[in-house]
Structure 1
Amino acid sequence: MPQLEVDGARLTYDDEGPREGGGVPLVFVHGWTANRHRWDHQVAHFSKTRRVIRLDLRGHGDSAGAGVKTVQELANDVLALLDHLEVERFVLIGHSMGGMISQTITLAHPERVERMVLVNSIGKMAYNRGRGLLMAASTLVPYKLFVATNIQRAFAPGYPRDEIRAYIKSSADTPREVVMTLYGAMRAFDVLDRVGEIRTPTLMIHGYHDIQLPVKQMLRMAKAYPDATVRIIDAGHELPVEKPAELTAAIDAFVTAPADRPHAAS
């Protein structure tokens, strides 16, 4: 596993697929408490024909390091990796918190982002009463119970319990300090007043049953985007693993459409 030292962190990443002939690289950014393997289905598909890059954010998966307090700092890590790999232009694909990171990068460096895909992500965190109570109780209950409850809620009803348990275990391996600090970072994240600046063609794809970041919040954000395609799938918050084939197909249609017709995914 290649690794890169960045500002007190050790980032583990994968850089796969052909370097020539497939278009600009695809960069996959995972969400809160997850890791780069959330994208296994998508990477297996796209790396056959084009360069694909994914990483474990600091403190997640096989990466080490903590201390970041903002989404901007996570975005800086992603950019540091891309600069190290000498990737100037790319397509950003971010899930949940990874979508927040993607929007942050695109706002700061629109010239580098060819297209963007936001998977179960929004421009500002908003909580219903149930989610607010869960987060308030996070300091009062055992950490693993908090993680288990949070991950259970992320999947649509009917998703296999054995698979959910595996994701709970993976998430619980993320250090508590990292999880809670980045919860604060997401809670402070707010680019709603700026998304109208994003001229980058964007696909917003969301799970209908997402109660972590409800679809109505994404639709409210989509209205402000000058160039957005919206796709709703019968799933929860964990689209990359709940409906991997559907998500991969939607991304493929969007990123391979001619430059003047990126809305082919709709």
Structure 2
Amino acid sequence: MPQLEVAGAALTYDDEGPRDAMLTPLVLVHGWTANRHRWDHQVAHFRGGRRVIRLDLRGHGASTGVGVRTIAELAEDVLALLGHLGVERFVLVGHSMGGMIAQTIALAHPERVERMVLVNSIGRMAYSRGRALLMAASALVPFKLFVAANIQRAFAPGYPREEIREHVRTSSGVPREVVMTLYGAMRTFDLLDRAGEIRTPTLMVHGYHDVQLPVRQMLRMAKAYPDAVVRILDAGHELPVEKPAELTAALDWFVTERP
């Protein structure tokens, strides 16, 4: 697994697929407490014909590093990796917190983002009563219980319990400092008032049963985008693993067929 040293972190990444100058590389950014393997289905589909880059964000998966406080800092990590790989222009795909990172990059460097896909993501964090209770409880309950509660509620009813337990195990391996500081970073994330500035053609794919970031919040953001397409799937918050084939098909259509 290749790694890149960036600002006190070692970022683990995969860079796969052919270097075809006619096809813009895909860059896949995972969400909070996840890792780059959330994108396994999408990578398996695209790497046969297109360059695909994905990374473990600092403190996640096989990457090291703590102390990051903002979504903008994570965006700088992604840009540092792309600079290292010599990728100037790309299609940016972000899930949940990864979508917040994607929007941050699209606003700062619109000339570099050819298209953008936001998966279960929003432009402004708005907390439901359930999420507010979890946040209040975070200081009172054991850390692993807090993480487990957040992950379990991310999936739509009926998703296999044994697979949820595996995702809980993976998320529980992220250092507490990283989990809680990035929870705070998402809590203060707010680009909604600037959404109209994002001229990048954007696909927003969301789960109808998403209680983490409800679909109505995404639709509020979508209305502000000058060029957005919305797809709503029968799933919860974890579309890359809940409905991998349907998400991959939507991505494929957007990057290869949509004018």
TM-score (ref. length: structure 1): 0.96
- Residue matched to 2:186: 186
1:10 paired with 2:10, answer: yes
Cα distance in 1, alignment partners of residues 161 and 222 from structure 2 = 33
1:29 paired with 2:26, answer: no
- Residue matched to 2:85: 85
SS of 1:125's equivalent? coil
1:123 paired with 2:123, answer: yes
Q: Where in structure 2 are the equivalents of 1:50-89 lying within 5 Å?
A: 50-89=50-89
Is residue 70–residue 182 contact of structure 1 (8 Å, CA) maintained in 2? yes
Is residue 22–residue 49 contact of structure 1 (8 Å, CA) maintained in 2? no
Q: Match for 2:92: what amino acid? A: L
**CA-atom RMSD in angstroms:** 0.7
- Residue matched to 2:94: 94
Instruction: Spell out, residue by residue over 1:187-215, the C-alpha distance to the aligned partner (whole angstroms, 9 max, x if none).
Output: 11100110100010000000000000000
Cα distance in 2, alignment partners of residues 113 and 48 from structure 1 = 22
Cα distance in 2, alignment partners of residues 106 and 39 from structure 1 = 21
- Residue matched to 2:152: 152
SS of 2:42's equivalent? helix
Q: Where in structure 2 are the equivalents of 1:216-227 lying within 5 Å?
A: 216-227=216-227
Runs of 4+ in 1 over 6 A off after TM superposition: none
Is residue 154–residue 238 contact of structure 1 (8 Å, CA) maintained in 2? yes
Q: Match for 1:145: what amino acid? A: L
Cα distance in 1, alignment partners of residues 195 and 148 from structure 2 = 33
Cα distance in 1, alignment partners of residues 130 and 166 from structure 2 = 24
Cα distance in 2, alignment partners of residues 195 and 23 from structure 1 = 27
1:137 paired with 2:130, answer: no
Cα distance in 2, alignment partners of residues 240 and 21 from structure 1 = 27
Cα distance, 1:21 vs structure 2:
5.4
Q: Gaps spanning 5+ residues in structure 1: where?
A: 262-266
SS of 2:82's equivalent? helix
Cα distance, 1:257 vs structure 2:
2.1
Q: Gaps spanning 5+ residues in structure 2: where?
A: none
Is residue 22–residue 51 contact of structure 1 (8 Å, CA) maintained in 2? no
Cα distance in 1, alignment partners of residues 226 and 168 from structure 2 = 37
SS of 1:110's equivalent? coil
Q: Match for 2:182: what amino acid? A: L
Cα distance, 1:139 vs structure 2:
1.2
Cα distance in 1, alignment partners of residues 70 and 131 from structure 2 = 21
TM-score (ref. length: structure 2): 0.99
- How many pairs were matched up? 259
Cα distance in 2, alignment partners of residues 90 and 75 from structure 1 = 14
SS of 2:153's equivalent? helix
Is residue 21–residue 50 contact of structure 1 (8 Å, CA) maintained in 2? no
Q: Match for 1:5: what amino acid? A: E
